[in-house]
Structure 1
Amino acid sequence: MTLLSTKGLSRNFGGLKAVHNVDFELQVGEIRAIIGPNGAGKTTFVSLLSGRIAPSKGSVEFLGRDITREPAFKRVRQGIAYTFQITSVYFKLSAYENVALSAQSALTRAKVPFARLHSEQIAERVDFALRRVGLQDRAAARAGELSYGHQRLLEVAMGLALEPKLLILDEPTQGLSDGEIENFCALVREIAETATILLIEHNMPVVMQLADTITVLNAGEILASGTPEAIRANPAVQAAYLGS
């Protein structure tokens, strides 16, 4: 079943074609990786999917519904969560409070009456999300005092608290130690049991072990798409990105 698709999706910045005429399909339950050289249009592409920027032309559908002109907050309510390439947390709030904001948003989306948004309901979701990313012992710490790697994991916890249908992760292993990366890979596999994952990642060992399918962007266009084995062996991908 197709979860998300685009047709002719494009975004221009002046004369620069950051994303050009992209047709793309993402299936329910899939772990899809997007790779490509710097400047290939990866972050612009997922920003179009999440509604953070508007397309110059083309369309985006989510669960068969056209969401091309819907803003990011409405897409979040439909189940699209996006963690940023550069951390986007509330530095003066605690880790717990950051995740609680997402948990409250999810309960609101589920149409739980405001009067019933008891702290116990929110606490349950927050505790669950923090445990999944391994930050339960840092719940009281201010987000700004966490290491960069832990801020990345906090953002993932905020995404999980939204209970998304689609979780978009932009460079999630950046700043993580080898041990944290190993734990992160296990986490992604766990998340994929209940949500679809779209992953932008430069760490190729992570991509190769996690992705069901890899899509390669180059100069704003899809260069290739296929299994990790097919992508590794693709001469065009080797020339543009992977090397020989």
Structure 2
Amino acid sequence: MTALLTTKGLSRHFGGLRAVDNVDFSLEPGEIRAVIGPNGAGKTTFVSLVCGRYAPTSGSIVFDGEDITAMPAHLRVRRGIAYTFQITSVFANLSAYDNVALPVQRTLTDGRSRGAVRQGAMEALERVGLAGRAHEQAGTLAYGHQRLLEVAMGLALRPRLLILDEPTQGLSDGEIENFIALAREIARDATILLIEHNMPVVMALARRISVFNAGRILAEGSPAEIRANAAVQEAYLGTAQEAEA
């Protein structure tokens, strides 16, 4: 199968800090891939390079056969890459509906009617369970609901690659179960790249896991392979499981 996304020798340095250091990475269409690792491992910097928030110091990024290394972020969105941020970035003074209607409008090439925008926005809100809160001001929503609103904003772009940075942070146990079901449903139409610290969520969703440490990929494999990897246990899983306990 031809990869949807590949990086070769991808690096990003901030002064003497090698936040991402010579990363080779490949993601297949339709995959749910989890990226895990300790804080400061380079996970968010890596996905920021993929979506165009940062320019790489060196290396290349190819999406669906096209070199996008120098492509601006807004053009990557048009190619089908959507990213929800680690820190919630909704428009607090707008309604939940208006937050989602804005990205819907970007997907409409013809017939930018109110009806088409409303249908797209309400479909995205319905998928994340927020249709009943459509006209509430986004800034008044609970933090977990703001996280779900961000997912709805990403879905409204009809992405081919949806990058989710800690989407379950702030969600209740019931909302996490609903998110797992939602992610599986999204994966029928899109590829998901998931940064997540909640190990039960990672193990439930990911077919493969990439473990970052000190800006590099320490290990890759199935959930079972990662669970059994001694280096991963030492660098991350042991401390992550202790934190959850």
TM-score computed with the length of structure 2 as normaliser: 0.96
1:51 is aligned to 52
CA distance in 2 between partners of 1:71 and 1:13 (Å): 20
CA distance in 2 between partners of 1:141 and 1:52 (Å): 29
Pairs within 5 Å for 1:98-113: 98-107=99-108, 111-112=109-110
- Matched to 1:204, the amino acid is M
Residue 124 of structure 1, aligned match among 119, 125, 147:
119
Residue 162 of structure 1, aligned match among 148, 157, 163:
157
1:40 is aligned to 41
CA distance in 2 between partners of 1:54 and 1:41 (Å): 14
> How many angstroms does 1:57 deviate by?
0.3
Q: Secondary structure at the match of 1:243?
A: helix
Aligned residues with identical type, % of pairs: 69
Work out whether 1:139 is the aligned partner of 2:140: no
Work out whether 1:72 is the aligned partner of 2:73: yes
> How many angstroms does 1:238 deviate by?
0.4
Residue by residue over 1:212-238, the C-alpha shift from the partner in whole angstroms, topping out at 9 and shown as x without a partner, is: 100000000000000000000001100
Q: Secondary structure at the match of 2:4?
A: strand
Residue by residue over 1:26-59, the C-alpha shift from the partner in whole angstroms, topping out at 9 and shown as x without a partner, is: 0000000000001000000000000000000000
2:18 is aligned to 17
Work out whether 1:171 is the aligned partner of 2:166: yes
> How many angstroms does 1:106 deviate by?
1.3
Q: Secondary structure at the match of 1:9?
A: strand
How many residue pairs were aligned? 238
Listed as ranges, the gaps of 5+ residues in structure 1 are none
* RMSD over equivalenced CA pairs, Å: 0.7
TM-score computed with the length of structure 1 as normaliser: 0.97
2:93 is aligned to 92
CA distance in 2 between partners of 1:209 and 1:171 (Å): 15
Residue by residue over 1:149-196, the C-alpha shift from the partner in whole angstroms, topping out at 9 and shown as x without a partner, is: 000000000000100000000000000000000000000000000000
